[in-house]
């Protein structure tokens, strides 16, 4: 099974700051990676697919990058609505595992 | 407009079989490159992919749970069914279904249901 190591596990930031969350796969996943945002008590929402493609309706301050085993989600100029948890997920062969999550909190 | 909604028993006892239904609209599982997956999340913890079914009836299972999982679909009525046999307290979680789209070999779970809470307790 491919393991997804996500970091950091938690992050305390202020509105307006820029943050980067990373996911490292235990083997090459050839950009078969998605990022999700989950707010407390809500279902996850797709932000990025195929490592770099923004899902419909996702603000341009979000961006995905990476290749091989290393991937990142960058959020420029954090807004109050961006706080919550973020997860990566690979799609390179089953099981489709998720990263452990990053909890983004307001400083 | 794509929507998915999970339904289930809410609470059940250890050793019973959990049956969940995902009812969806706005897409069809007769369309190529579409699928529906199930994901669960224990309270306060991360996400776990369980299994999924594709438009061509291909099925993929989490090997850690495969012996207990069954997935099926009713294409005509836009529903997908999940059964988990012999549940125990570790199966207590919120269960989500999600639409899967595939394009040029790349996948995404682009729409999710609201989730249904399942508690296993004696």
Model pLDDT, residue A23? 98
Looking at chain A, which residue has its C-alpha nearest residue B59?
Answer: A94
Mean pLDDT value across residues A23-35? 97
What's the gap in Å between the CA of A26 and the closest CA on chain B?
17
Q: Give the residue carrying structure tokens 């040029």.
A: B104
What's the gap in Å between the CA of B64 and the closest CA on chain A?
9
Task: Give the one of B49, B60, B106 whose C-beta lies nearest to A97's C-beta.
Answer: B49
The Cα–Cα gap between A53 and B111 comes to 16
The confidence band for B103, taking pLDDT boundaries of 50, 70 and 90, is confident
- Asked if the Cβ–Cβ distance from B108 to A44 is below 8 Å, we say no
Mean pLDDT value across residues B89-105? 93
In the sheet that holds B3-7, the strands lie side by side as B3-7, B18-25, B79-84, B69-74
The Cα–Cα gap between B2 and B12 comes to 30
**Residue B105 clears pLDDT 90, i.e. is over it:** no
pLDDT digits (tens, 9 = 90+) for B24-60: 999 999 999 999 999 999 999 999 999 999 999 999 9
């Amino acid at each position: 099974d491919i393991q997804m190591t996500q970091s950091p596990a938690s992050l305390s930031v202020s509105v307006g700051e820029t943050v980067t969350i990373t996911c490292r796969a235990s083997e090459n996943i050839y950009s078969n990676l998605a990022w999700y945002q989950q707010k407390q008590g809500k279902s996850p929402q797709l932000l990025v697919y195929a490592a770099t493609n923004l899902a419909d309706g996702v603000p341009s301050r979000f961006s995905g990058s990476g290749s091989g085993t290393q991937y990142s989600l960058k959020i420029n100029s954090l807004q109050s609505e961006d706080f919550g948890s973020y997860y990566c997920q690979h799609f390179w062969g089953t099981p489709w595992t998720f990263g452990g999550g990053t909890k983004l909190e307001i400083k | 407009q794509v929507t998915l909604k999970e339904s289930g028993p809410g609470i059940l006892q250890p050793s019973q079989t959990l049956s969940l239904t995902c009812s969806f609209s706005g897409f069809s599982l007769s369309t190529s490159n579409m699928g529906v997956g199930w994901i669960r999340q224990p309270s306060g913890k991360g996400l776990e992919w369980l299994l999924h079914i594709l438009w061509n009836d291909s099925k993929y299972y989490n090997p850690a749970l495969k012996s207990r999982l069954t997935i099926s679909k009713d294409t005509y009525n836009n529903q997908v069914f999940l059964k988990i046999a012999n549940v125990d307290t570790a199966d207590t979680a919120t269960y989500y279904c999600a639409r899967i789209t595939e394009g040029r070999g790349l996948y995404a779970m682009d729409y999710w249901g609201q989730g249904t809470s399942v508690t296993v307790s004696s």
